Every structure is written in C-alpha cells, then in structure tokens.
Amino acid sequence: MASEQQLEALAIDVAREAGELARRRRAEGVAIAATKSSVADIVTEADREVEALIRARLRAERPGDGFLGEESDAAQGTSDLTWVVDPIDGTVNYAYGIPAYGVSIAVVRGEPRPGRWEALAGAVSSPATGEMFHAARGAGAWLDGTRLSVNDTPSPAGALLATGFGYDPATHAGDLARVARVMPMARDLRRIGAASLDLAYVAAGRFDGYFERGLAPWDHAAGALLVAEAGGRFTRVDMPDDPRRALFVASGPAIFDGLLAAALGP
C-alpha cells in the first residue's frame, strides 16, 4: 500500500502535467464542446482531453484504483482507493480567458461518496499562476514549499468571504438570500468561479471563509483536505429542501460556527 506522501507526490505530478496541457490548450483557443445540466454549464474540448490524460496517467501508475471524474464515466477499482478528479474546475472562467481555474485531484479511501470517504491526499494546481496547493492526511497543506495555515484571527472589519452559485437559475434566489444573511459578518465577498481554488485560498489564509450549495464531489475533494490540513474546518450539510444540493462551509475555527449558522439560515 502506497503511503499518503507517495499518493500526494503522484497527485502533484499528474496535476502539474494536466495543468500544463490545460494552459497550452487555453493559449491555442477554447472550443465549447457541449452544455450539461443547463445552458450555463459547459464542457470544453480541453476538459475532456485533460481528464483523459489524468485518467490514463493514474491508470498506468495505479491500475487497481477507482476513478470518479467530472467528464467521464466512473470506474470502481479493486483497491479501496478512488481518484476524484476535476480536470478543469472553473470551466466558465477558462472559456472566457479569466485566469482563475484549477486542476483538482484527490485520492480517497472507502466508499467514493462525500461524507463517506476519507481523503488521503490531494493537489490543486492553478495553471495560470503556476501555483500548486497540495496536502496529505496528517502531513499538512502546502503551497509549493510553504506550509499553509488558515487565517484564524477575526478582523474588526469582518471576514473576507467567498462563495459560488449553481448553474440552475432556479437556485439563484436562495443563493442570494444566503449572501444577504452572511454579509453582516463580511468585510467583502468574492466569487472567483472555481470552488477548488476557493478552498485552496481558505487553506492559504487568502480567504477567511467560503460557503456554497450544490458542489459536486470533484469540486471539493482535494480542497476540503487542504482546509483540514491547514487547521481549518470544512463541513457538508444535507439540506431538506433539495437533497442533491448540500451546503458546504469552510473557514478557520474562530468564525466557523457563525458562518455556518448564517449560511444555514433560520
């Protein structure tokens, strides 16, 4: 059985190669291949090509492991490990040429379902900035060679928070009501458009906290481990009005309970 650090090294290596391919394809121009859950939810040729590269590299190195990716069919493995992959998180940014997109690769143990799995290692690369965020269970979260820790000193000006919105227009009113509830504790709010980077930035202390409903497993698998290994808290709460759209909250310990209460609402 590979150690967490060996799995982390593989995640970093594959995320770096995948990020280079994504950046190269972006420079050549991006073609939208299809829409998915709604007209706003797009997939580019590059998403598919980058996922195929990640999948082939992981299959070659770890043939017994399962795979759960955004753009291709899930595969169960013979080991109890599964790689959870978003080849390009922030696809809309990518398509518009906004340099805020990530390659997110995590390896989890157990049933490959959020809330059931145990994340062992992960990497989130930001190809446009050249940054690589990575973590292994029990061994900290890192940005390149620097160990990360969440920002846990509340500011009198309030917290710098981040959020995201679902692709389904029917969910926007609820998302905006949540923003209104959370704003009294915020100094300001960011919506950078890539959940994996939002979580990496919480781990790095660039954001004080993050909340969003409806993330897919590949959006948060690596980022949640980064936050936990940087000393932060992350939770996923099933919501009674729509069980397919859980609420996700991440922050340093000091503001976590308040942020969760505001995000949940009455």
Binding residues for ligand IPD (CB under 6 A) = 70, 86, 89-91, 164-166, 193-195, 212, 214-216, 219
Question: Which C-beta is closer to ligand IPD: that of 109 or that of 236?
Answer: 236
Question: Which C-beta is closer to ligand IPD: that of 64 or that of 97?
Answer: 97
Question: Which C-beta is closer to ligand IPD: that of 165 or that of 201?
Answer: 165
CA 44, CA 219: separation in Å to the nearest integer?
Answer: 17
The beta strands (E) that lie in 164-252 are given as 186-190, 209-213, 233-237, 247-251
Give residue 148's region: left, alpha or beta (phi > 0; psi -120 to 50): beta
HSE, side-chain direction, 13 A CA sphere, residue 103: 33
Question: Which C-beta is closer to ligand IPD: that of 164 or that of 205?
Answer: 164
Question: Which C-beta is closer to ligand IPD: that of 42 or that of 230?
Answer: 42
CB 253 within 8 A of CB 232: yes
Shortest reach from residue 153's CB to ligand IPD, in Å: 26
Shortest reach from residue 71's CB to ligand IPD, in Å: 9
Shortest reach from residue 242's CB to ligand IPD, in Å: 14
Angle, in degrees to the nearest 10, between helices 253-264 and 172-182: 130
Q: Which helix (H) or strand (E) holds 103?
A: strand 102-109
Shortest reach from residue 30's CB to ligand IPD, in Å: 13
Shortest reach from residue 53's CB to ligand IPD, in Å: 16
Question: Which C-beta is closer to ligand IPD: that of 91 or that of 151?
Answer: 91
CB 234 within 8 A of CB 224: yes
Shortest reach from residue 172's CB to ligand IPD, in Å: 12
Q: How far is CA 145 from CA 83, 125, 171, in A?
A: 24, 14, 40
Shortest reach from residue 139's CB to ligand IPD, in Å: 26
Output the residue with the shortest Cβ distance to ligand IPD. Answer: 164
CA 151, CA 254: separation in Å to the nearest integer?
Answer: 9
- Give Cβ neighbours of residue 212 (< 8 Å, ≥ 6 apart): 163, 164, 165, 195, 198, 247, 248
Question: Which C-beta is closer to ligand IPD: that of 162 or that of 255?
Answer: 162
Q: How far is CA 107 from CA 2, 22, 110, 204, 265, in A?
A: 11, 21, 10, 21, 33
